[in-house]
Structure 1
Amino acid sequence: MTFLADSISRIKPSSTIAASQRARDLAAQGRDVIALSTGEPDFDTPENIQLAAIRALTTGKTRYTPTNGIPELREAIVQKFRRENSLEFTPQQVIVSNGGKHVIANAFLATLNPGDEVLIPAPYWVSYPELVALCGATPIVVETSAKDGLKLTPEALERHITARTKWVVLNSPSNPSGAAYTHGELSALAEVLVKHEHVWILTDDIYEHLVYDDFVFATIGQVEPRLLPRTLTMNGVSKAYAMTGWRVGYGAGPTQLVKAMDVIQGQVTSGINSVAQWAAVEALTGPQDFLGTRRQAFQERRDAVVGLLNSCEGIRCATPEGAFYVFPSCEGTYGKVSRSGKPIEDDESFALELLSEEGVAVVHGSAFGTPGHFRISYAASMTSLVGACERIRRFCANLEKGNAK
């Protein structure tokens, strides 16, 4: 008889963390590894934000904080939503949590019961279905297609909504694909959701500031205000502000929902790190000019990676609208054999052999619910990216050499 809860058997370890750990293990053995498996900017946290944290330390702002966040940060979040998204919230409708994942977990724990369903378009961030399963509810994966840009269509959304549907999750720009929904695409989805008043919307906007070319970011509550009474808008400072380790995420939504999330957070973690909250205040209220500079750097990396990958035999890579990921297809390598004699049968064997033979760590697409692909994070130096793509090109070129054992 096991003493572990049944919920443990319903969830799996994070595939992205596992891929990164495999890379670390190889590097510890002395292998030359280029790890492109982690979604983390390689830039430092801006200096003004670092200094704000130091000021918090030296002025005694190291005590317990309100569970839902210090008033100054919640007010800064209210102003951010008004300034950047034309969304109106009160500080009571805002909660600050230990990263965006914590916001989502709080929302699901506060609302999901066994038998409830959550619609999750694939490819999806690996934690969405696991958090749903942890709550005893059922994740319903909605497949997307390359012809639709790996984005949820109104028709697919309508087809999957049932009386049991509690939430639909939208992530734009997407992790892992980088696909982002236009204002028009969100409007078309909103037309469906307006008709189904029992369905709530969780929109994960964590990559909001990382959109490229002439793409204009929009969030669904901004596009269709009638959905705001049942929309939780999640965001944070980790990606755009290079503050992944600070662990500051936030959500804004209906007061009743946010209060319920606050109750759960109060019993599990209480308020988050006080110093990190003051740093986040500076991030949201301080100079924003560096965002454009870093966005341009990411766009240059994206363009270079897409071009290099499309020169690899058996690889097809679309150009994403945002985030810092590409999600190329590796199906053109299936049926071939690596130099070690191992067959490439699927995206997981492709990723494992690529790491083993060339020391490039990526995450296989099946981990995100979309087989036949792999994810590369281009939040790395251009030197590392070019070197990694050259290794991938070499790996693909050598696949037909050798015989299966």
Structure 2
Amino acid sequence: MRLRLLGWVARRFAGKAGSVSFDNALSMLPDSSLFPLFRDGLDPVGRVGELRERSPVSRLPVPLGIRAWLVTGYEPVRAVLGSTDGFSNDFGPFAERVGLTAAREPGGLGMTDPPMHTRLRRLIMPEFTMHRLARLQPRIEAIVADRLDAMAALDGPADLLQEFALPVPALTICELLGVPYADRALVQRFSAARFDLGDGAYAPLDAINESRAYLRDLVADQRRNPGDGLLGSLIRDHGDELDDQELAGLADGVLTGGLETSASMLALGALVLMTRPELAGPLRAGEPADALVEELLRYLTVVQVAFPRFAVRDMEVAGVPIKAGDILMCSLSAADRDEVLGPGMDRIDAARSAGRSHLAFGHGLHRCVGAELARMELRTAYPALVRRFPRMRPAVDPASLPTRRASIVFGLDALPVTLE
């Protein structure tokens, strides 16, 4: 363990060298390019909704002569994400165009195409069926109870993000993957840094590659002594079919989809429940959390944009001509507020009929593999939280809470709460 941590530190500082003009250009993107990642409180900024109604496929200004499009309408987003032959998720050709080295390519399930994507997803999906995940339910309940006890023992206001929203999914992911408990702080840092564009375009890619390096070391440990977690299971069942790079990539994909996103949902959902007591009341009374969880997932849609799609041929999307090589950014947060889903989508309605599926977990081939795990965490954590602390309230004006700016995963930087 000590050697693995030392190795990570060495790689971290070695990777700081070599910044180039591409990074500098993207680190200074104007608000006109980053606005799909901004929020007005918990809502996407008004410009996103205006574009969705007026021009659901519109040009997004980015540097270096790259043709990029923002897709905001529910139907066009589903069409792009659901396409099996019109778009590629392969980051490699784009990386070559803008001068990224192979070491800074994100890779992973989210950035691969069939048949590689099909093969890898087939191997990992059995670990994320409800039947397999059921074994984690007692552990999730224990983690939630432990964190609630730790919060109750604090003097004064507690930071719900640090004390509850982050540790619950972090410890669950560590349990699932077989990550040593002592490394949970590293796992949290890897997850948060990869979604933040505030330090330039290379910062998330560097965080991804640091995570992969750590996970390759973990895979090597598991090769020698497979544990009971997901990595150990994949090595026992498919060890000859997967090399260490692929295993690290799969583990990193679980980390990407299951930590920062769930932490943001837990914190933001808790904020909604504190400021909307009529939503928390039924949970305290023992009513199922399923419908409310789905509505919060839709309303908050913390993963604001999907992985970029690269057009592989000339085509039209919602009547707009798209050229081969163009990049399409699909705004999930905008699509989930589209009133084709029903009336009043800019407000929370816990009694809303499920109707058409929300896109909080994406859609199509690259839909989040950990969706059911996230639902398990939310359905467990929200009721336990409001029952344990029925008078919990924000310790500051909710409007003053620090939120992440220009982050693919929307979230809070802190959530101070008064528990009594």
**TM-score normalized by the length of structure 2:** 0.26
Higher helix fraction (1 or 2) = 2
Higher strand fraction (1 or 2) = 1
Comparing both chains, which one has the higher relative contact order based on Cα–Cα distances under 8 Å and sequence gaps of 6 or more? Answer: 2
